[in-house]
């Protein structure tokens, strides 16, 4: 009996000790957002040929040129954690696609990938960035004034204006009924906006023309100005539908001297009964608005929301997929790096696979980890017993030779 007889039990204890550390690390990170479970795998050491494990694969090996047991670690990147609602505006989770990762830049050109979407704001040199919990810059596609997104990913900058101006009204429509009986005057009000006026009521006044059952004189009243239509009469058919006109062009002169033009669609006006019922009034302008909040929508777009019920797109998340995502190199508990074994990378549209105000939890299954812990502890004990037996046998052999 030689010292080599101890090698199987010693390598076994080393492998099981490492496996125990892996289990402990998993349990310690069971509440870490976006954490992916690690697993220690074993192989038999036979002969001197080395295990072919790529240097960039994220696997570590204890293989030597002797018999025994070796180990390596594998990160189960493809297992998704459950999505949990947080209510935080900058939290976002990826759901339903295990091969999609948030893209991060450390500011020095190094790119990392993660499933942890617990993002936050970082002010730096008067610029507010969206960053990960570790301070890395979140990458996205910048939106322009028309809401179109760039095709080049860059740091997401949160620079939404505190206020947005009003939008001038150019189109309006009215769906309503003009009373056919016992009413001589009806008024329908439309809230309109101009470049200089943040809202004013434009009243369309219909007055019954004496002796003409289906004809009404038309005029306009306006707060902060005067309004004149291109027609002064509205005529209905005998069945109560509009006869003429179906559209009215209104020329507006505001008190400050500025002018506006509004086209009003009245093709859905009717003349029935005695009710002056208004069904719907719409127009394409809006008042100015103050910034209320910034957050992600379900399409992975960071938006600024305003008090006038409007919003502005800031940027769309840059999600990255890989030909072989299981070969990503773990950098720390939640970050991964690409390497020569991950294959081509490509951007994935976040629409439909992200959940706003939510986070992906750790993929660690506590029951599974405790079961694995029991197995590993038992295997360690068996290797320790084997070592003890070999030690006792060697002691007896030495005593016999002495």
- Same domain as 154, residue 105: yes
- The size of the chain, in residues, is 402
- Same domain as 112, residue 28: no
- Same domain as 159, residue 92: yes
Pick the closest to residue 230 from 252, 204, 249 (CA basis): 249
- Same domain as 271, residue 310: no
Here the CATH number for the domain that contains residue 240 is 2.60.98.20
Total number of domains constituting the chain:
3
- Same domain as 145, residue 175: no
Pick the closest to residue 278 from 174, 401, 376, 161 (CA basis): 174
7-28 and 366-401 are packed helices; what angle lies between their axes, rounded to 10 degrees? 160
- Same domain as 300, residue 155: yes
- Same domain as 294, residue 160: yes
Determine the straight-line distance between the first and last CA of the chain, rounded to whole angstroms. Answer: 15
Structural domain span for residue 67: 3-76+363-401
- Same domain as 384, residue 303: no
Distances (CA, A) of 137 to 109, 128, 221, 281, 304: 11, 11, 54, 45, 19
Strands across the sheet containing 185-192: 185-192, 200-208, 215-222, 233-236, 242-244
- Over its length of 402 residues, how does the chain's per-residue pLDDT go in tens digits? 455 566 778 888 888 898 999 999 999 999 999 999 999 988 877 654 444 544 444 445 554 445 688 888 899 999 999 999 999 999 999 999 999 999 999 999 999 999 999 999 999 999 999 999 999 999 999 999 888 999 999 999 999 999 999 999 999 999 999 999 888 999 999 999 999 999 999 999 999 999 888 999 999 999 899 999 999 999 999 999 999 999 999 999 999 999 999 999 999 999 998 788 899 999 999 999 999 999 999 999 999 999 999 999 999 999 999 999 999 999 988 999 999 999 999 999 999 999 999 999 999 998 888 888 898 888 878 877 777 777 666 676 666 666
Tokens 């990458």 — which residue? 139
């Amino acid at each position: 009996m030689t010292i080599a007889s101890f090698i199987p039990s010693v390598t076994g204890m080393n492998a099981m000790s490492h496996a125990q550390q892996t289990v402990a690390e998993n349990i310690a990170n069971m509440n870490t957002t976006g954490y992916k479970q690690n697993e220690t795998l074993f192989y038999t050491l036979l002969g001197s040929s080395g295990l072919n494990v790529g240097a960039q694969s994220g696997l570590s090996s204890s293989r030597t040129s002797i018999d025994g047991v070796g180990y390596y670690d594998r990160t189960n990147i493809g297992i998704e954690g459950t999505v949990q609602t947080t209510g935080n505006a900058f939290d976002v989770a990826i759901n339903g696609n295990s091969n999609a990762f948030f893209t991060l830049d450390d500011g020095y050109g190094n790119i990392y990938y993660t499933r942890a979407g617990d993002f936050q704001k970082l002010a730096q040199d008067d610029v507010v960035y969206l960053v990960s919990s570790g301070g890395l810059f979140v990458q996205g596609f910048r939106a322009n004034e028309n809401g179109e997104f760039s095709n080049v990913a860059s740091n997401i900058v949160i620079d939404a204006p505190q206020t947005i101006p009003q939008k001038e009204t150019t189109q309006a429509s009215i769906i309503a009924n003009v009373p056919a009986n016992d009413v001589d005057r009806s008024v329908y009000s439309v809230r309109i906006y101009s470049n200089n006026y943040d809202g004013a009521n434009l009243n369309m006044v219909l007055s019954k023309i004496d002796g003409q059952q289906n004809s009404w004189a038309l005029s306009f009243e306006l707060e902060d100005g005067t309004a004149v239509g291109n027609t002064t009469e509205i005529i209905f058919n005998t069945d109560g539908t509009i006869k003429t006109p179906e559209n009215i062009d209104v020329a507006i002169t505001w008190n400050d001297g500025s002018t506006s033009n509004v086209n009003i669609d009245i093709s859905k006006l009717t003349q029935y009964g005695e009710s002056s019922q208004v069904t719907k009034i719409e127009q394409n302008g809006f008042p100015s608005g103050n910034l209320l909040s910034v957050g992600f929508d379900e399409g992975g777009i960071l938006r600024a929301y305003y008090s006038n019920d409007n919003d502005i797109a800031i940027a769309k998340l840059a999600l990255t997929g890989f030909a072989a995502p299981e070969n990503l190199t773990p950098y720390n508990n939640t970050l991964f790096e690409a390497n020569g074994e991950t294959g081509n990378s490509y951007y994935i549209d976040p629409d439909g696979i992200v959940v706003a105000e939510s986070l992906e939890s750790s993929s660690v299954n506590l029951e599974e980890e405790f079961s694995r812990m029991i197995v590993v502890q038992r295997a360690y004990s068996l290797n320790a017993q084997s070592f003890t037996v070999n030690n006792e046998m060697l002691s007896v052999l030495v005593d016999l030779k002495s």
